[in-house]
Amino acid sequence: MAILVNRDSRVICQGITGRNGTFHSLACRDYGTNMVGGVTPGKQGETVDGIPVFHTVWNAVRATGANVSIIFVPAAHAKDPILEAVDAGIELIVCITEGIPPLDTASAFHAVRFYNRRLIGPNTPGIISPGHKCKVGIMPGYIHMPGPVGVISRSGTLTYEVVDQLTKNGVGQSTCLGLGGDPVVGTSFVDALKLFKDDPETEAVVLIGEIGGSAEEQAAEYIRNEFNKPVVAYIAGRLAPPGKRMGHAGAIISGGTGTAQSKINALNEAGATVVENLTQVGAVMRQILK
Amino acid sequence: MNLHEYQAKQMLAQRGVDVPRGSVCYDPLEVLIGARALKTDRVVLKAQVHSGGRGKAGGVVVLSMEDDIRRAAAKILSKRLVTNQTGPEGKPVSAILVEEVLPIDREIYLGVLQERAAGWGVIMASAEGGVEIETLAREAPEKIVTMKVHPVRGLSPYQARGIAYRLTDDRQLAQQIEKVVTVLFEIFVGLDCTLAEINPLVVSGDRVVALDAKIVVDENALYRHPEMELWRDRSQEDRLELSARKDGLSYIRLDGNIGCIVNGAGLAMATLDLISLHRGMPANFLDVGGGASEQVVADAMSILLDDERVRVVFINIFGGILRCDVLARGVIKALNQFGARLPVVARIEGTNIDEGRRLFEESGLPIEMISSLDEAARVVVQKAHAA
């Protein structure tokens, strides 16, 4: 099954005629994703290398039966397309855009929850299920390999790094999911763990956290109480000075909370295998799966 | 983006919150004139820097009108203020806020920030103001009152009132506090703040006065508030951090001697961690982003070469969107332009790796390629110690 995206996903891209929208829509299709359409107001009737473009998400959904959308709209305008996707009935919304004001995300997220949809991101690399040849994101597809490990992360390139290690260690992935680097994101570690728990294709999970907030501590509590599969965890940012945003808007130690040590301790106590050296994640997971 | 205390107070005052009488001054004579204009016995001089802990660092001084106010002001303006939050280099003081000194009956803490899990606004208040909320949260969390505010519905009057009556039973006082809560929340939402704080809000006779205030505006939302750029004080920000931001890079100064170029915030943090595992210390955190161009890479490189503390450069790139050949061209361009005075260790992986490697090898520059990340980190630290 993998989680959230699979061979049955029918994907549209909001902002498909922009530079990034075009590039990544085609890259997703090349990987095997069923890209059924795109949305750019005023350009209905055009195509992007054969992918039909629609004025509105509603038109796209009606014509194609799309159930997943990937958003590449600039930050200043990104709240509206999330709401548009929600109202058009899209079940899974993947928002790649970085730099959306968190108050905008919060109000869009409210609508997502109210209508019982799912939002991944913003500021996410997206999601990929290699065994289903379905990629809804900007990650390099070729580093992935089908297999039993779920990957959840707040960081894009760090996910690639870890996936690359897993693959080189002969450990494939069921679904890899970037939660996004913003302080407010639509899907949390706990949300993702719940899905992996019920996914028969997933045998173990890699959790990649970083400083800021308390999502990893909440994940630790869930792992201790409910989760029944092995977890290998890595937390980035042990050297981060308090009060500085470390690249991601959400990666900041403030008011003494959000330190790497607090997250490492919580995950250790919950029974996860916390790896100190990033370069060991793949090898440790291979050992666990033996 | 941080605002100065005087700027935050102006915002509050414009919306009807009581603040101490006073003025912002930029030289000692102006401070003296400002103090006399208050027609009071005692005044307080407050250094305007982007940092807490100013009082303990000598940046806040209470004086009587008989004291030598000019000399006290000159002293504050003459040197960088080093607080427990600024680091040893401190921050320059170019302005002093001169204010009346008020008798204080009570101190209250009031702050608004955003909760992460669902993005609600959170108002926090405590009858014990004046102390840092972090300290209070750690030592006596039961003394903090919190109120969650829905992101779409907004703040209801009963919520602001509820906060006020948790702080006092006095009706007249509660009405004033309710108004301050409402205004502070309006500023938080209206200006897209990550933090809006009054600490302390004091009760002085029948007045409720914002004695100190801190407002941090979200950088991502500044496009909605172009007027705020006028309030940005560049002197309070690190020179290299500013020049990095101009180039669209994310840069943070650290205390070591290894310059790092990395793509992606997570990988950047992980690289710092790896260096420290090998007992080295990075000079910076420099993230060129997931999809940097050749020019951005060259700009990043030039920022490192401009930092005299850097002894060795570590390039750790996992090319996804960013292609390794683009990266290599950027690095080579910068080294050819600014001179290859430092050893460079590069660990690159991902898209177009063969082309990137070839470009480095054929460049004739002192770039050492190591394919194992762990090994590369070890070698970098070794070189930093040897230099």
B299: buried, middle or exposed (CB in 10 Å: 19+, 13-18, 0-12)? buried
* Least confident window among A241-255, B97-111, B141-155, B302-316: A241-255
The domain ranges of chain B are: 1-19+104-237, 21-101, 238-386
Q: What is the rounded average pLDDT of the residues B19-26?
A: 97
Identify from B228, B318, B327, B353 which residue to disrupt to test chain A contact, counting A C-beta atoms within 10 A and taking the largest count.
B318
- List chain A residues with CB under 8 Å of B265: 155, 181, 210, 246-248, 251
Token representation of residue B40:
């009071």
* pLDDT of residue B277 exceeding 80: yes
Higher pLDDT, B132 or B185: B185
Q: Is B139 on the interface with A (CB under 8 A)?
A: no
Within a 13 Å sphere around the CA of A38, how many CA atoms are in the beta-carbon half?
28
Angle at B25 between CA B24 and CA B30, to 5 degrees: 135
Q: Where are the alpha helices (DSSP H) in B47-106?
A: 69-78
The pLDDT tens digits of the residues spanning A132-141 come to 999 999 999 9
Give the model's pLDDT for residue B290.
Answer: 66
Q: Are A7 and A30 in contact (CB under 8 A)?
A: no
CA distance B124 to B197: 9
Q: Are strands A134-137 and A126-129 parallel, antiparallel or unpaired?
A: antiparallel
Residues 22-41 of B with CB under 8 A from A: none
Cis-peptide into A101, omega within 30 deg: no
Q: Is B212:B110 a contact under the CB 8 Å cutoff? A: no
Which range, of A55-64, A202-211, B13-22, B224-233, averages the lowest pLDDT? B224-233
Supply the DSSP string of B287-346, one letter for each residue.
E--TT--HHHHHHHHHHHHT-TT--EEEEEEEESSS-HHHHHHHHHHHHHHH---S-EEE
CA A166, CA A163: separation in Å to the nearest integer? Answer: 5
pLDDT at A174 over 80: yes
A103, B321: Cβ pair inside 8 Å? no
Which of B139, B272, B273 best probes binding to A when mutated, by most A CB atoms within 10 angstroms? B273
Mean pLDDT of B268-274: 94
Counting Cα atoms < 13 Å in the Cβ hemisphere of A195 gives 19
Q: What angle do CA B261, B266, B267 make, to 5 degrees?
A: 45
Q: All domains of chain A, ordered by start, with CATH? A: 11-120 (3.40.50.720), 139-289 (3.40.50.261)
Report the residue of B220, B262, B272, B317 to disrupt the A interface, i.e. the one with the largest count of A CBs within 10 Å.
B220
Place of tokens 């065994």: A131
Cβ-count burial B320-356 (b if 16+ within 10 Å, e if not)? bbbbbbbbbbbbbbbbeeeebebbbbbbbbbbbbeeb
Contact A279 B285 (CB under 8 A): no
In sequence order, what are the beta bridge partners of B122?
B113, B148
pLDDT tens for each residue of B178-201: 999 999 999 999 999 999 999 999
Helices (H), chain B: 5-14, 28-37, 69-78, 133-139, 157-167, 171-190, 239-246, 265-277, 294-305, 324-338, 353-363, 373-386
Per-residue pLDDT band at B384 (split at 50, 70, 90):
very high
CATH pick for B21-101 out of 3.30.160.160, 3.40.50.11260, 3.30.1330.200, 3.30.1490.20: 3.30.1490.20
Question: What are A223-281's pLDDT values in tens digits?
Answer: 999 999 999 999 999 988 887 888 888 888 776 678 999 999 999 999 999 999 999 99
Task: Report the pLDDT value the prediction gives residue B352, as an integer from 0 to 100.
Answer: 84
Q: Does residue B233 sit in helix, strand or coil?
A: coil
Residue B205, by phi and psi: left (phi above 0), alpha (psi -120 to 50) or beta? Answer: left
pLDDT class for A1, splitting at 50, 70, 90?
Answer: low
Residue B263 and residue A157: Cβ atoms within 8 Å? yes
CB A175 within 8 Å of CB A129:
yes
Picking from B218, B221, B268, the nearest residue to A247 by CB comes out as: B268
Is B221 near chain A, with CB under 8 Å? yes
Q: Per-residue pLDDT for A59 more than 90?
A: yes
Domain B1-19+104-237 has CATH 3.30.470.20: yes
- Position A182 pLDDT exceeds 90: yes
Tell me which of A52-61, B178-187, B233-242 is least confident: B233-242
Cα A279 versus chain centre, distance? 22
Question: What per-residue confidence (pLDDT) applies to B245?
Answer: 78
pLDDT (mean) for A183-192: 96
Query: What does CATH list as the number for B238-386?
Result: 3.40.50.261
Mean pLDDT, rounded, of chain B: 91
Q: Does B321 touch chain A (CB under 8 A)?
A: yes
Lowest mean pLDDT among A102-111, A161-170, A244-253, B64-73: A244-253
Taking the CA of residue A24 and the nearest CA in chain B, the distance in Å comes to 10
